[in-house]
Amino acid sequence: MLFGPRVGIFTTNHAIDATERAASGCYSKNVTIGDGVWLGANVTINQGVTIGKNTIVGSGSVVTKSLPESVIAVGNPCRVLRKITEKDKTDYLFRKK
């Protein structure tokens, strides 16, 4: 996994009901991040979200819903821009000597 600066992962939330919220009511949900994920700078991940393996989340995105594996996702709210394909390879590993 690669995390840019100021990535925020938030697993808790306050109660929606005003009376419960005033009494400090809160709840939490897990966040799951797959292998090979790259989160750009200033990404915010909300509770209950799963990010599939090898996915890239663009800088400044706010992830409010789960993302599938091997996609590039961006925005507020974050949405899938496109799948990562073989055309994205740069042959860097073959040129490095």
Which is catalytic among the residues 6, 14, 21, 53? 14
**Residues pairing with 27 in the sheet:** 13
- The residue among 49, 48, 59, 50 whose CA lies nearest residue 81 is 59
**Residues pairing with 12 in the sheet:** 28
Is residue 14 flagged as an active site residue?
A: yes
Question: Which pair of tokens denotes residue 97?
Answer: 């000597």
Residue numbers annotated as active site: 14
